[in-house]
Chains A and B, each alone.
Chain A
Amino acid sequence: MSAFREPLNIIITGVGGQGNVLASQVISVAAVEAGYRVVVGETFGVSQRGGSVMSHVRISRDKAYGPLIPRGRAGVIAGFEPLETLRVMVKYANPDTVMIMNDRPNYPLGCLLGEDKYPDPHRIEETIRKIVARVHCLSATELAKEAGSPLAANMVMTGALVGSGLLPFGREYFTKAIELLFKDSVRDLNLAAFELGHRRVAG
């Protein structure tokens, strides 16, 4: 487990409908279960899907923080979608930021309509690698399909985040949080997806 920086600033970004809010909820419940202070700032409310979404999660030992991370001060960015990962990195990363990204694009309307071109995801990954020291790129959607549903990519990404070893508390708090928040087959699916993501990054 790596050195814990106070506060640990985590950004989760992606596209509406990818389960961003649930992932941040799992992290915050796990943090509280582990006895840490946590604050999460979310952008939601427009229920339509397809817009850029971002959650800020801030974990600390004993200090209360505001729900927004200042620019350039993210410790980890978990990007559920390549373009959004790059977009958020520009504002919030610094050379020490750890990037965890899903390689599967979700095309904006302008790209579907043929007006914009979606950048090559490999070029996006290369660009990110030029800027920060550590990047974990994974096929979270494919791993989620392996676990049972492409919709569980959010838990694969959460598993990968925990697998990166940046959090000050263990994975057992995450399995506990998943068990608290979900029931039956959804719980099993999410646990399996979490495991696959964790293994993919932690080895």
Chain B
Amino acid sequence: MGVCKEQPGVRVALTGNESLARGALEAGVAYAASYPGSPTAEVLGTLAKVAGQFNLYVEWSVNEKVAMEGAAAASFTGLRSLVVMKADGLNVALDFAGALAISGTRGGMVILVGDDPAAHSSVREEDSRNLCKALHLPILEPSSVQEAKDMTREAFALSEQLKLPVVVRCVTRVCHASGDVKLEEIARPERRPVFGRHDRVITFSIRMHAQLEQKLSRAVDAAGDSAFNSYTGPSEAARLVIASGPSVMYALEALDMLGLSGSVGVLKLGTTWPLPEKLLLSYLETASAVVFAEEVEPFVEDNVMALAAGHWSELGGVRFYGKRSGHVAGPAGAGIGELDPDVLADALAKIFDVPRADPLLLTSLEAEAMLGEKMPDRELALCAGCPHRASFWAIRTALELDGREGIVLGDIGCYTLGIVRTGYYLLQTMHCMGAGVGIAGGLGKLDRFGFNKPVITVVGDSTFYHAAVPALVNARYNRANFLCVVLDNETTAMTGHQPHPGRRTTATGEPADTVPMEDIIRGLNIPYAISDPYNVDATVNAVCEMLEQSGPRVLILRRTCALAAVKGKRKNRVYVDWDKCIGDACGCGRFCSKVFACPANIWDAEHGKARIDEAVCNGCGVCATLCPQQAIVVEGTVE
């Protein structure tokens, strides 16, 4: 494994997330905690794998706030600690993060936040830098896989120097990139946590706010000296690009494509908050045109323009181009979506009035004309054999039988696909972890105003522990009327099968003191039932029965994630018996492929019969139990 290679100077292939983990190892991290979220989900898993080798404490926490509180505790004793989350997770941890900035830290503490420009796997394109600025926390932004490691290592030192947590803000294109990384030595500090009876780390607002501002002005000086800020290009450039994150690489390539490398300079900012003011002013003095390249919001852009406004008399006639001016914009508009070399090349060609030689051959429309057909889009789908598909089918069927137009709410996880076709458009709300349960609690109190529809909320097992429990406590206390269906696939499937308190193992694979969700639900005095979603009839019955009840109640639909279940095992062979399948004559409306919509069930147009794609099928056999002709055969045994 490249992550724990000991030879300094050697180059190994690492993913961005492994590189971030390696940076923490090189800094001598002792304590790491996280709740899994894309794009940073693999950082903690990487550290967990080497925890024994380097004597680290590594945990999957129940949510990001708890993770940050634990990491802060380690820092208070002088140890170096890391907490990892995605942008949405920083929102969860925000309350504590704000207090922690005031109290300060001791041992170096790094908050690694993964932002997801273009929302590849998020509900929104949040730019966490605006929050970090509000929190008064310094931000480092890696632009490459190599820098992901180098910056993480340095962030610990900076944190210790400032006695303040330091944020490493990494975007998807760095976290999920991989490349060759030059290693440095892994630190093995002697670890003796110290926190005595008289040690205090407190927030005491007025005096400590002043101290926090002083720490930030020291951070401005540190940013000015930082090697992570660098310049490439002609000296005293009149035309300048200020870039951060992977946009640095895109800008360099775009200038190269346009033949502008020799005449336009690129100022790379690695310390995006607080800004290295003197450094920036020295470049702004000679520049007459400045272009900003960053993701997602115009964060550096706004702050540099504010800095420039304060020095307007010295700077004279510099013009700023970016998101505010509308020049740096992708197809969806300025400040929306990711940048890439093409977006920047288009912008720079326009701003500096140079031609864009584009080897692009043809458009999709032209390709479709040559093909003589349309290229169909490809939507996301629940995996073949996904227990959630069976659960959604059962809920949908139960609601039809119930006939009262019940409402279905949801939140974040694989089951979010319940908002689209693959989940039969069942889910009517989707906001953040656990929000469905809280919203169900609100709807469940509206009977006095005449709202009488049954309310169902679905929540995943990991989300149950993360954010559903307080909402369920509230529902019990206030007697809200709804059915909470826990889609328990026994893992955090969305982010790569991380364990949670319902599992028997910890992050490092040690046996866990499992906290069964049944115990929690029982403790809340909430009635519950358990069903296997693969057993569709029984599940439909269970949903129907529980819809008849009142007050808060929970139905656990438990079946291991189809991807995890077949790992290393022989799967059942499922096939269509063409003697029994009578195709469209059946009247089932091509149930298996078109209605149930499992991607392994395909329609053989040539023969007018259903077929199963063995490369896709997971062998669950649920379609076999639903086929009206019993034409689907399962070879082997479905447990």
Contact = CB atoms under 8 A, between A and B. Distances in A.
B253 A65 contact: yes
B120 A46 contact: yes
Interface stretch (B214-222, B366-374, B510-518, B573-581): B366-374
B120 A110 contact: no
A50 B383 contact: yes
Contacts of A153: 615
B39 interface: yes
Given A68-B250, A90-B367, A109 B374 contact: no
Contact of A70 (B121, B257, B383, B422): B257
Given A32-B11, A151-B615, A52 B341 contact: no
Nearest to B379: A109
Contact of A91 (B145, B146, B257, B360): B360
B120 A118 contact: no
Contact of B180 (A37, A41, A112): A37
B257 A131 contact: no
A95 B13 CA distance: 31
Interface in B397-445: 414, 417, 421-422
B417 A48 contact: yes
Contact of A118 (B250, B376, B384): B376
B615 A50 contact: no
A108 interface: yes
B374 A116 contact: yes
Interface string B175-188: 01111100000000
Nearest to A7: B253
Nearest to A177: B13
Band of interface residues on B: 35 or more
Contacts, number: 218
B639 interface: no
A28 B179 CA distance: 7
Contact of A49 (B174, B381, B421): B381
Nearest to A66: B249
B383 A49 contact: yes
Contacts of B240: none
A48 B383 contact: yes
A24 B257 CA distance: 25
A73 B180 CA distance: 22
B457 to A, nearest CB: 20
B383 A38 contact: no
B280 interface: no
B493 A47 contact: yes
A102 to B, nearest CB: 11
B371 A108 contact: no
A182 interface: no
B342 interface: yes
A91 to B, nearest CB: 7
Contacts of A17: 383, 616
Contacts of A67: 173-174, 177, 179, 246, 249
Contacts of B177: 39-42, 67
B13 A32 contact: yes
Interface stretch (B52-60, B314-322, B539-547, B591-599): B591-599
Nearest to B121: A45
A70 B340 contact: yes
A65 to B, nearest CB: 7
Nearest to B254: A70
A108 B376 contact: yes
Interface string B478-499: 0000000000000001111000
| Residue of A38, A41, A87 with highest tally of chain B CB at under 10 A | A41
A109 B422 contact: yes
B332 interface: no
The 6 A-B pairs with the shortest beta carbon distances in the complex, nearest first, are A66-B249, A45-B121, A72-B359, A116-B376, A50-B381, A45-B38
Interface of B: 11-13, 38-39, 41, 116, 120-121, 144-146, 172-174, 176-180, 246, 249-250, 252-254, 257, 340-342, 345, 358-364, 367, 370-384, 414, 417, 421-422, 493-496, 563, 590, 593-594, 597, 599, 601-603, 613-616
Given A41-B177, A66-B252, A131-B361, 9 more contacts: A32-B13, A37-B180, A50-B380, A50-B422, A64-B179, A71-B360, A106-B616, A112-B597, A151-B615
